[in-house]
Structure 1
Amino acid sequence: MALDVSTPVFEGPFDLLLHLILRDEVDLYEVTLLDIVDAYLVEMERMQVLELASATEFLLIAATLVELKARRLLPDDGDLELDDELALWEERDLLLARLLEFKTFKDAGAVLDRLFERARRSYLRRVGPDDRFLDLQPDLLAGIGPLDLRAAFIRAMTPKPVERVALDHLPSVRVSVLEALGEVVDELRRARRLSFRDLCEGLGERLEIVVRFLAVLELFKRGMVDLYQGGTFGALDIRWTGDDGPVETVLTGVDVYDG
């Protein structure tokens, strides 16, 4: 589907716009989506047969552009973490990767089209080889006797040694839900209310954070804590509601898991 677009920063074919975006010659955020969508709708009305592949590719790219532009309209709370900031850049890189993939398949399709057009002008040989060429193939079993076959069979059936990769040089992180449960109970009894982020402060391994979360779930199952989360992916607040009895009573019946 040949689509021409006209924006304040670019005017021409949609394919050329993608090419310029890939080369960073056109700012992704300066492209006016309204003009592109209008041109797309005009092209859709003009087409006799809908090309689903081209239409779907356009909708995917346009939807990604809308999402990226929408993020710029949201207020900046100043508390954007490094991971979230990197995620925004990853989305931009993902769009550029999709554009590059689109261009790659488009160029490959053009090459295949030229090859098919060239093949249409050629004629295949539909007969077998001449008689003098029938016996030119080598005898693959020439000089091979029963003993050779037996030796080859023994080699094929002999078990091969299994290669093992040494893991001694890798440091192992040993964590226990039972130990994490005791630490969580001590911290919650002292602070009475904590966020999960504060509860995991100082932990460097992902496995330790996972085990700490399992300990929180165990306390919630026993009715010793209340959990509150203001929104999706928001901060998880934990409030201690249990008694201040011995820690051993809390640890009774906990499934022992070491990771």
Structure 2
Amino acid sequence: MNDNSVIETNEVQPIARICGEPLLEIPQDLYIPPDALEIFLDTFQGPLDLLLYLIRKHNLNILDIPMAELTQQYMAYVEMMRVDQLELAAEYLLMTALLIEIKSRMLLPNPKTETEEEHDPRAELVRRLLEYEQMKYAATRINDLPQASRDFNVIQVWVEQQAAAQIPNISMDDFRNAWAAILTRAKINRHHQIKRETLSVRAYMSQVLRDLGGRDQVEFYELFSPAATIAEVVVIFLAVLELAKELLLEISQSLDSDIIYVRSIDAAS
């Protein structure tokens, strides 16, 4: 093995980079303010948050709190906060007084009668701590959920699109009733003279398309002339059905009324 193949490097790692340039050692004339190296204590949302922190940190039983130990630790933290953050001392001092009161009540004898049950002075404090712990846990769970502008961005896209008017489909019963009404109207013009009429369904199909030309839609009854005979009514009706079968016209019905409409497919598109 060639010794030249092994190259040892003892590069000095920079302690910082200023404007992209590595800084290998601390300048001798660097001034550090006295408060720059101040140790910040854990921030708390209130006295209950501090009590809960002390209980969990020292593995205390929240249902059987040793008040002497907890009060001593709590007052030590309050004293440290009072030095630098005097405005926070008021609410914390109120909790200090409560802890001292509970501690004193536990040291004093608690005479009780036969009808009275023993009351633990810590019961109210334990209840407040448990409720606060539940609310803090719930707040943490909510904060872990994805939030807009923090975990993701909401993108809105505006698309100009005109919705086509949708007319509901006609039911067969309504269509049958409309046909019966037209036949009833056509019977008024009936007569007993027998003659042979040559009626072309194709011719009436063209006539219906001409009647619908240039119009958005017409009522179904308008396709049948009041003076039309029964034979003409039947042929016109067959012409409408044939046009609908060949997808040359559309039959629909209004939502708010029972009026039946007919329109050509060219007008609908």
TM-score by length of 1: 0.34
TM-score by length of 2: 0.33
